Structure 1
Amino acid sequence: MLRICKDSYRRKLEANLQQNNVRDVWRDENDHWDEWGGNVNPHVMVTTGQVRRQLMKLHQRKAAGPDGITPRLLKTCADQLSPVLGYLFNLSLMLERVPLPWKTSHLVPIPKKSRPSEPADYRPVALTSHVMKVLERLVLAQLRPQVEAFLDPLQFAYQPLLGVDDAVTYLLQRAHMHLDGGGDTVRITFFDFSSAFNTIQPLLMGEKLRGMGVNGGLITWVIDYLTGRPQVVRLGSVLSDMVVSDVGAPQGTVLSPFLFTLYTTDFQYNAESCHLQKFSDDSAVVGCTGGGEEGEYRTLVDNFVEWSERNHLRLNVSKTREMVIDFRRKKLPSQPVRIRGEEVEEVEDYKYLGVVIDNRLDWKANSEAVYKKGMSSLYFLRKLRSFNVCSKMLELFYQSAVASTIFFAVVCWGSSIRASDSNRLNKIIRKAGSVLGFKRVSLESVMERRMLNKLLTIMDNDQHPLYQTVDRQRSIFSHRLLQLRCRRDRYRKSFLPQAITLFNNSNNSGLTHALLNVPMGV
């Protein structure tokens, strides 16, 4: 790459010197135009300070990439390497090319389920150079501000202050409001894509970025980043033959997830009775229907399927599911959704982003799944104690295996579960406390603290999809929030009404700001 750059630079200087005008020799040397119609300089440049800051953020315990360079080395020698890497990074951006060693990746198959039986049960995670990861973070910082206005507000993945909790609570809030307000039915189609990241078309990605007004040189760099990628599969110490990929975005890199959100951001829909929400490639069409009027919902499903085909995203109809939420005693028979002539299977519950949602919204299936997984983790905690493992390691295992299982997305379901399910989960917590030798925080305490923190986060983020719903409840006479009108107990026990009650109670006791400083761990 250095040789190519020097030759190109020499030819430019020689051409200018032939003009016999010293003043014009260096003119336009900082301007670089390409087929995408953008100017690389001065818009896409990195500084030595930016490079150093990213090097200092590297996790030293991470394994080395295919180039053998460890993050420990990069972090330890950040002061010495920052100027060199900064020069190489700017050279890469100027030439709109990514060096092959930086693009080379080792694909490690990670099982999607406990007992994989076929290649489709594995997720190919790419191990790439840590030098490239630093450059990707710097490019991401340049790219995000240029496309901020085009991002889907209902894309909950890879966005600041948004996550699984927000995606699930938003879906449930829309469903509860419709059903509590006199609506008949909520229909949800959960789409399943086959290897979504691997089907991104680089040239189509470039067209989408150009439509967002992204710097032309950066677009060309992104296309080069996505094409001509040498890849090998690594299983243990065995490597497969190398294959060069020109399609898709490698999973496990810094830039690919955000590029995927940009690839899918041109299909957005958010109406009063229907909306499409996304969490990376996990997409769900939610239709709040009444009186048998399902035309808008079915049209949205058809349009999304058609858009997916145009953008080369392969829908797996056999794994796509529909769930119908209807609390009426006399339910009308529902016509199944069809995709490419194939009926979508209707289910009573569905695991969405790690949370099991059922068509009764009573969280019985999710509570059972959490209980079984919690008991399994508790068994291993007891085994570790029988091996005389130190208390510090036992506490670490509890936090990472037991507590993370029980309290995952607790803000979505914690206030709505039955008393018997709550008691069973608290029993696991008490048993874990006896193993560790001290009392653990109860499910209710963790739930209330996290619910209040989540509500405060929503109130401080005007880009949050639930911000307007909460903002409308602000009282003009005090710092309290007006309670939502809830006709049924099911809605009253859901996240937002319960969080508003906690907020008002904490304001009365002066604990709101104190709770914000409580660590989220348990």
Structure 2
Amino acid sequence: MKESVIIPMITRAQVCRELRRLRPSKAAGPDEVSPRLLKVCVLELGDLLQRIVILSLEQGRVLRLWKTSCIIPVLKKPRPGELNDYKPIALTSHIIKTMEWGQRGCENYICGFFQCLQHHPASAPQRETERDRSGLTPGGVDYLTGRPQYVQLRDCRSDTVKFADDTAIVGCIKNGQEEEYRKLIRDFVSWCDSNHLHLNTTKTKEMVVDFVAM
């Protein structure tokens, strides 16, 4: 059974404020929209981007190009000898990054999708949407799925790939019962295999925090 929730909307002033915070020296993402252009044309683009964001929230959809990432391998040492000598840098649309990382307003775009509503301003316009038993609105599900990535090295571009950096799994073990935690790990490994994601076990670490000892 779906339940009605209230999600905040985005105002033109919030969009313009976040666009002005962009760093013009950053490289453009796959949409080829440079942050310099967004910052210079903030007054002309404010209304348009506000309408796009509102439609995205209302329809529960995120533009595919906004979710696309271009992975650029950057050398970590002068003479590389293996893949680990490169650091992957992900370039994504500065428009979606503005909506994701806005500190005082446009964060409501993602908060609305994920039901993190406790931080939105009380005065922000709100509308109702639906969410399922997973706790995510349709937009939240859409935001997490269908995120294509490709690797670009000079003029060479790879096929679509999947990549995730700095993945963390946190589990609570009580009374020495580890089975639930171990099952979580097994399910994650199985999911990665099913989705053609290769885990780098050489960089995988397990950290145990003992609250009793603390």
Q: Where on the TM-score scale, by shorter chain, does this alignment land: which range?
A: 0.5 to 0.7
User: In the alignment, is residue 306 of structure 1 matched against residue 194 of structure 2?
Assistant: no
Give distance in 1, aligned partners of 2:199 and 2:152: 28
| Within-5 A mapping of 1:16-95 | 37=2, 39=4, 42-95=6-59
User: In structure 2, what residue type is equivalent to 1:83?
Assistant: D
Give distance in 2, aligned partners of 1:316 and 1:232: 19
Give distance in 1, aligned partners of 2:206 and 2:51: 52
| Corresponding residue number in structure 1 for 2:104 | none
Alignment CA distance shift 1:144-1:104 (3 Å): closer
Q: Is the 8 Å Cα contact of residues 69 and 130 (structure 1) preserved in structure 2?
A: yes
Q: Is the 8 Å Cα contact of residues 93 and 217 (structure 1) preserved in structure 2?
A: no
User: In the alignment, is residue 146 of structure 1 matched against residue 116 of structure 2?
Assistant: yes
Unaligned 5+ runs, structure 1: 1-35, 149-208, 252-256, 272-294, 324-468, 470-522
User: In the alignment, is residue 240 of structure 1 matched against residue 157 of structure 2?
Assistant: yes
Give distance in 2, aligned partners of 1:228 and 1:321: 26
| Corresponding residue number in structure 2 for 1:98 | 62
Aligned-residue offset at 1:315: 6.2
Alignment CA distance shift 1:102-1:239 (3 Å): farther
Greater RCO structure (CA 8 Å; 6+ sep): 2
Choose from 60, 71, 93 the match for 1:107: 71
Give distance in 2, aligned partners of 1:242 and 1:71: 26
Alignment CA distance shift 1:103-1:146 (3 Å): closer
Give distance in 1, aligned partners of 2:199 and 2:52: 40
Alignment CA distance shift 1:44-1:315 (3 Å): same
Give distance in 2, aligned partners of 1:228 and 1:145: 21
Give distance in 2, aligned partners of 1:107 and 1:317: 21
Aligned-residue offset at 1:105: 2.5
Q: Is the 8 Å Cα contact of residues 308 and 315 (structure 1) preserved in structure 2?
A: no
Alignment CA distance shift 1:322-1:51 (3 Å): closer
SS of the residue aligned with 2:7?
Answer: coil
| Corresponding residue number in structure 2 for 1:127 | 91
Aligned-residue offset at 1:318: 5.0
User: In structure 2, what residue type is equivalent to 1:308?
Assistant: I
| Within-5 A mapping of 1:328-339 | none
Q: Is the 8 Å Cα contact of residues 67 and 143 (structure 2) preserved in structure 1?
A: no
Give per-residue Cα distances to partners, 1:48-81, cap 9 Å, x unaligned: 1221121111112212222222212211221221
User: In the alignment, is residue 217 of structure 1 matched against residue 152 of structure 2?
Assistant: no
Give distance in 2, aligned partners of 1:113 and 1:210: 48
Alignment CA distance shift 1:82-1:112 (3 Å): same
Q: Is the 8 Å Cα contact of residues 61 and 139 (structure 2) preserved in structure 1?
A: no
Alignment CA distance shift 1:311-1:58 (3 Å): same
Aligned-residue offset at 1:131: 1.6
Aligned-residue offset at 1:111: 4.4
Give distance in 2, aligned partners of 1:320 and 1:100: 31
Q: Over the residues paired in the alignment, what is the CA RMSD in angstroms?
A: 3.9
Alignment CA distance shift 1:319-1:221 (3 Å): closer
Alignment CA distance shift 1:234-1:222 (3 Å): same
Alignment CA distance shift 1:232-1:316 (3 Å): closer
User: In structure 2, what residue type is equivalent to 1:234?
Assistant: Q
Give distance in 2, aligned partners of 1:104 and 1:227: 9
Alignment CA distance shift 1:91-1:147 (3 Å): closer
User: In structure 1, what residue type is equivalent to 2:183?
Assistant: E
Output the TM-score relative to the length of structure 2: 0.64
Aligned-residue offset at 1:120: 4.5
Greater helix percent: which structure? 1
Give per-residue Cα distances to partners, 1:132-162, cap 9 Å, x unaligned: 21233333444677288xxxxxxxxxxxxxx
Give distance in 2, aligned partners of 1:59 and 1:315: 33
SS of the residue aligned with 2:38?
Answer: helix
| Within-5 A mapping of 1:498-513 | none
Alignment CA distance shift 1:305-1:120 (3 Å): farther
In our comparison, the structure showing a higher alpha carbon Rg is 1
Give distance in 2, aligned partners of 1:88 and 1:98: 10
